[in-house]
Amino acid sequence: MKLLTIKNIGPIDHVELNMKRVNVIMGPQSAGKSCILKIACFCAWAEKRIQLEQDKNGFSDYEFLKENLIVFHKLDGFIREGSMFSYKTNHMSFTIDFDKKDGEMFSMAFNKNGHWEYRRSRVAYIPAERNIVAVIPNWFEVSLGNTNLKSFVSDWNMTRGLSNTSQELSVLNLGIRYYYDADKKQDMVRMANGNPLNFADASSGVQSVIPMWVYLDYLFHKQYQGQNLNKLSIDADNENILQHIYNKKYKPGLAKRIGDNQAYIGKIGMGKLAFANEDEYKECKSLFNSFTQTAYSDIYLEEPEQNLFPVTQVNLIETLMSEMKLHNDSIFIATHSPFILYALNNCMLGYLVKDKIEPGSPLFEKKDCWVNPKDVAVWEIRDGALSSEIDKKSLTIQDKSGLIRSNYFDRVMKQVMADFTNYIAYYD
């Protein structure tokens, strides 16, 4: 469960989103899609930080919020009178109210029942400007400030070397492969004919899709294959997390229940700790693993269709739905493309009719991309609020079966065809 409410931030007046494992938001330019995506990403990151530290720490400080939300996600000028948002999951809830004074803006509470069921995720934001690593030759020298774009560039730099001359990465259905040439310190593309091409000289579509796909491949696969490229498994960090868990859940009241000489001593991480009994030790050891080992990725993706031909957009969605199943990842997409919706609808429809599709048929070959509509939420945003002619309760643009129905793209197409009909009346 993820419930996000946003009021009076940027173009958003009031939205309430009941997020699922697959989330898509669409609408016109400057309607607030990216604003929602950024706040949702911040909330996932905030929950993770609070859970790992078992305390709200800097979140009560406006300067901390400014640096990690407004500056990082480029929301300067978006905060106005009445700006606030709240976030609730199975593990905890919090509210940030910008009308309150510094030190009181942030309030939170752990969920008594779900607090300790948290599993660590990797929170990943993939911005629309991702092709900067191709179009600007010296991107590593560009000052980007403390922003989500800088964070993505850092992630790109961390992951690109994992695809090298001996392990080239296939890119969707394009018939090309990406690799990093460490000797030349160049990003390269192996074309369908086998010839190498400098990444900077590739087409705009290739320049947009490769940074996205290299990082997604890391999220889906390579981060679990033993490469310690991030700091998640550094012993010192893990020991700090262990102490936060222990101090919050096990240390209080320990001396009241038993004498020190009666404690159960168990080894976790780099040292030993005292517990009331062996069961508590085993429970703490399990929590330590859940809080220090990445279980899945929480992905926030801007405009995945950027510069891609419709067929490739469809293949991208089908591949995403398939790859996400490996670790039960979640994704939130902001899009302008009707083909993203059409492809997702087919993935859901395939799930609904899966028992009727014969093995060996062309449709059955797509079974890995089928997704339960109950795990999908699709919204349209218009005039600062979610808009739906179908689902008046949760305001998705899905019917009772979960399939996508009337939406902005359909209305535009109807208008285009109506204009065509009117023009054709004058054509001889």
Q: pLDDT for 38-48, tens place per residue?
A: 999 999 999 99
Q: pLDDT for 343-391, tens place per residue?
A: 999 999 999 999 999 999 999 999 999 999 999 999 999 989 998 877 7
CB atoms < 10 A from the CB of 93, how many?
Answer: 16
DSSP strand pairing (106-110 vs 169-170): unpaired
State the pLDDT at residue 391.
75
Mean pLDDT of 411-423: 90
Take residue 204 and report the two structure tokens written for it: 């705009």
Q: In this predicted model, which residue has the larger pLDDT, 126 or 60?
A: 126
Mean predicted lDDT score pLDDT of the chain: 92
> For the chain, what percent of residues have pLDDT higher than 70?
96
pLDDT of 121 above 90? yes
Q: Can you give the residue ranges of every domain in the chain?
A: 2-120+295-418, 143-224, 235-292
Q: pLDDT for 219-248, tens place per residue?
A: 999 999 865 544 445 678 999 999 999 999
What confidence category does residue 148 fall into, taking pLDDT thresholds of 50, 70 and 90? very high
Burial class of residue 313 in the structure, from the number of CB atoms within 10 Å of its CB (0-12 exposed, 13-18 middle, 19+ buried): buried
pTM summary value: 0.94
What confidence category does residue 261 fall into, taking pLDDT thresholds of 50, 70 and 90? low
Q: 105, 60 in Cβ contact below 8 A?
A: yes
pLDDT of 257 above 70? no
Q: Which residues, listed in sequence order, are joined to residue 132 by a DSSP beta bridge?
A: none
Ranges of beta strands (E only) in 172-255 are 177-181, 186-190, 196-198
Q: In this predicted model, which residue has the larger pLDDT, 263 or 343?
A: 343
Q: In this predicted model, which residue has the larger pLDDT, 56 or 99?
A: 99
pLDDT of 280 above 50? yes
Mean pLDDT of 70-80: 96
